[in-house]
Chain A
Amino acid sequence: MKEKLLDIRDEYLSFFTPAGEIKALNGVSFSMDEGEVLGIVGESGSGKSVTAYSIMGLTAYPGRLVSGSIRFNGHEVEKMSEKELRKMRGNEVSIIFQDPMTSLNPVYTIGNQIEEVILLHTDKTREEAKKRAKELLELVGINEPERRLKQYPHELSGGMRQRVMISIALACEPKLLIADEPTTALDVTIQAQILELMKELRSKLDMSIIMITHDLGVVASMCEKIAVMYAGHIVEYGTADEIFYEPGHEYTKGLIKSIPKLNSSEPERLVPIEGQPVDLLNPPKGCPFAPRCGSCMKICLREMPEKTELSETHYSYCWLHRKAEFEKGGGAE
């Protein structure tokens, strides 16, 4: 069997704060093939960014991997030294952040910030790096690249800056590109343009993408696989079709109901998911979604749901799949 590009097994990661241990990731496992596009969806605070940063060894203080393993491109990330990690970051795996307004250094030119990463990871000379930076700006659809290279971030619009961020991420032709809510901070029209660009780049360049978002609509249009995260768990994983047409978790169903349907003929009825996110300092014993779940059973409060394989590519963690058994066996409800 061909080795996976990314294989995360049973990742537990906590932030050890003065207030206590914030259990941000609680047994996250998933894997990706080369060239695959994975969407990670889930509401704010569910652990999407923390998962992404841990792949790059960028977990912020006071966070620490408690257990589990992260294999990426032949590396055992959790065992790598800081020096080895630095060689990998921006080179084999790179990331685009949510807010392009604050993600570029205000005191250096665009050119400087793109060339920096090229000079760091390749043997190119300054001249060659500059040429490459120009190509990259063209690739991400920025006009007058020559002039832009000399400009400072504040002279560019939000959409432009996100394109620059993308060009920095692509500079060393990474195997994996992580886009952490790349459009959340942008206006709707700009959002669409950036998504269009991402799709275009995806078909042009041979790389895998992790697309993080809290918006199912965004992943629907570009991801093959989708992982749904809730309270530091991947509660459901499947192909885009499986997730949209046969959702196997109550939280996923809730998310799907809350997407606005643009082409629907009926008056729109959005159903937001009621209730508060989980307190990660004191996570519940059973299913993390139980307090907000309309179909909650007794066992949901008591025990963490087991993994149910719904197909070769589709699994979820929900007791509902076993409801029939419980009813036969004497009513867990």
Chain B
Amino acid sequence: MGKYIVKRVGMGLLSIFVVATLTFFLMNMVPGGPFVAEKSISKAAQEALASKYGLDKPIMERYFTYITDFVKGDMGYSLRQRGRTVSDIIFSKFPVSAGLAGVAVAVALCVGIPLGCLSAYHRGKFGDRFIIVLATCGIAIPSFISSVVLLYTFGSRLNLLPTIGLNTFKSYIMPVTALAIYPAAYITRLMRSSLLDVMGQDYIRTAKAKGLAGFKVMFKHALRNAILPVVTYVGPMLAGLMTGSFIVEKIFTIPGLGREFVSSITNRDYTMIMGTTIILATLIIVANVIVDILYKIIDPRINLK
């Protein structure tokens, strides 16, 4: 186990380095620059800004500077939010997005797993069909539509829920719902198909032949084997959501990292792009390690090497 963790950390660092390098060169290849869009400033002023942030230097030199600074823990200043460092921005926005994502994923699991089980248990019957239709809608409806519908009904028409920010418990309801619909629907379908697959296994027949009741067969013998695909899906999905959902944050006016990420790209805020990308990569790698460890806990056959 210890050896495994050391190995995974090494691999993770290497992956992050590769991601950082690729992002750095790709983003510099894209036309435009952080100050190009600002028509109000003169050519001379633009050049002055570029030289202030070192953008006039050759790309290889900038790359090595960035990497050495990064290793020292310095992600630089944002090019567009003058005077704020990238770390500042990330550390103030990340907890907002991560909290929202955590709640949304918890909700998705609490809804998706039981619905998937129920659906598999009543396979082919009305309940199953109903849940499948529901899940298919959940997967098909994009979050901007569900967000707008929620906002319109519960926010403006019924005036039940706050439409802006994340200040009270109530204000979490709509953004969490909007974020959780897709993963909940996906988990429902994943859980259902995985359970049905497991229910056809020989050891399930053994469990039935012992005289166990249907729910015991399902919840003791099938569920633990069937949950592995859900675990695999949830890890990276959580990591993705934690770096923020641009659409939901925009619609509900939530000061999260998702909006920063997108606007940093449109603004060519190079240092912010690097910062957020590296955070996302790190989270995905960490999530995968956690998934592996969970796998080991759930299924004793798995050997972590």
Contacts and interface: CB of A to CB of B under 8 A. Distances in A.
Interface of A: 56, 58, 82, 85-91, 94-95, 97, 99, 102-108, 116-117, 120-121, 152, 154, 165, 168
Contact of B211 (A99, A108, A117, A165): A117
A89 B300 contact: no
A88 B211 contact: yes
Interface of B: 201-203, 205-214, 221, 224-225, 298-301
Nearest to A155: B300
A116 B300 contact: no
Contact of A168 (B202, B208, B210, B221): B210
B205 A89 contact: no
A56 B210 CA distance: 10
Contacts, number: 68
A97 B206 contact: yes
B221 A105 contact: yes
A120 B201 contact: no
Contacts of A95: 209
A121 B211 contact: yes
Contacts of B211: 85-91, 117, 120-121
Contacts of B301: 106, 152, 154
A105 B203 contact: yes
Given A105-B225, A106-B299, A152-B300, A58 B210 contact: no
Contacts of A103: 202-203, 205-206
A198 B201 CA distance: 25
A196 B225 CA distance: 34
Nearest to A169: B209
B121 to A, nearest CB: 13
23 contacts: A56-B209, A58-B209, A82-B214, A85-B211, A87-B211, A88-B211, A90-B211, A90-B212, A91-B211, A102-B202, A103-B203, A105-B206, A106-B203, A106-B300, A106-B301, A107-B300, A116-B210, A116-B212, A117-B210, A120-B210, A154-B300, A168-B206, A168-B210
Given A86-B211, A104-B203, A106-B203, 14 more contacts: A56-B209, A58-B209, A86-B212, A89-B209, A89-B210, A90-B209, A94-B209, A102-B202, A105-B207, A108-B221, A117-B211, A120-B211, A152-B300, A165-B206
B240 to A, nearest CB: 28
Contacts of A97: 202, 205-206, 209
B232 to A, nearest CB: 16
Contacts of B299: 106-107
B68 to A, nearest CB: 48
Contact of B298 (A99, A107, A154): A107
Contacts of A116: 210, 212
B213 A86 contact: yes
